[in-house]
Amino acid sequence: MNTRPQVLVIDDDAVVGRSFDRVLTDKGYEVSTALSGEEALKTMDKAAFDVVFTDIKMPGMDGLEVTERIKARCPWTPVVVITGYGTTENEARASVLGVSGFVHKPLTPEIIESVTLKALDEAEKVERLPTETEASVPTVDEISTLRKTGKIAKNVGLFFASPFIALGYVIALPIVGFYMFAKLGYEAYQKKHLSS
């Protein structure tokens, strides 16, 4: 059983893949490379990866399309987009797809290592989140207590709100009365002038 974190680097420039391999292999990772999105998806059919890096500009399938397909297959796999052509539109689209990072070329060994660690750390946090079935279900006593607390809060709120409600009626009543009086007067005035 291989316990080394599995990294897939997708870039049509083989030098980028070799850079990742050189930096990460010494740090205990196993790095695989693919020169296109199509090749990467075939590779992912045969093996699972802990983190995927993809270039954004590639012939054929671009990095965002590759990301979309990876996320459709393995939504839990962190994907980091690498680019020398960073635009706010691409970054916004990548964010919507749920990428773990968006890194600009040129890449240094420090950037490669830190982004990989960050992506793996985020993936680990997601795995540790409790599922719905693991979430605690309140007991009958807890529900009863919550209901009582809700009723008390409601009554306290009404107690403090009642002077303002009364003040609203005191202010609104004369205005409504004046409006009704004016409306009745206007209707009587119209009737008188229409009949004559």
* Same domain for 145 and 70: no
Contact indicator for 102, 81 with CB cutoff of 8 Å: yes
CATH of the domain at 64: 3.40.50.2300
Q: Is the pLDDT of residue 140 over 80?
A: no
Q: Give the least confident one: 117-121, 160-164, 180-184.
A: 160-164
Region 168-186 average pLDDT: 77
**pTM listed for this prediction:** 0.61
Stronger pLDDT, 161 or 122, i.e. the higher one: 122
- The 3-state DSSP class for residue 84 equals coil
Task: Tell me if 1 is assigned to some domain.
Answer: no
Task: Tell me if 169 is assigned to some domain.
Answer: yes
Q: Which of 29, 23, 25 is nearest to 5 (CA)?
A: 29
Residue whose entry in the numeric block shows the structure tokens 């870039």: 11
* Same domain for 116 and 66: yes
Measure the CA–CA gap between 179 and 58, rounded to whole angstroms. 72
* Same domain for 184 and 102: no
Task: Tell me if 195 is assigned to some domain.
Answer: yes
Q: What is the pLDDT of residue 133?
A: 46
Q: Which domain holds residue 78?
A: 6-128
What is the residue type of 132? E
* Same domain for 164 and 145: yes
Q: Which two tokens stand for residue 34?
A: 């693919």
Measure the CA–CA gap between 73 and 112, rounded to whole angstroms. 25
Q: Is 60 left (phi over 0), alpha (psi -120 to 50) or beta?
A: left
* Same domain for 171 and 87: no
Q: What is the pLDDT of residue 29?
A: 93
Q: What is the pLDDT of residue 139?
A: 64
Q: Is the pLDDT of residue 136 over 60?
A: no
Axis-axis angle for helices 88-97, 63-73 (nearest 10)? 10
Q: What is the pLDDT of residue 130?
A: 53
Looking at 128, 155, 185, which one is the last position of a domain? 128
Looking at 73, 93, 128, which one is the last position of a domain? 128
* Neighbour count for residue 35 (Cβ, 10 Å): 18
Q: How far is CA 73 from the centre of its chain?
A: 18
Stronger pLDDT, 30 or 132, i.e. the higher one: 30
Q: What is the pLDDT of residue 34?
A: 92
Q: Which of 67, 70, 123 is nearest to 95 (CA)?
A: 67
Measure the CA–CA gap between 64 and 88, rounded to whole angstroms. 13
Looking at 128, 160, 183, which one is the last position of a domain? 128
Domain tally, the chain: 2
Percent of the chain residues topping a pLDDT of 90? 20
Average pLDDT, the chain: 80
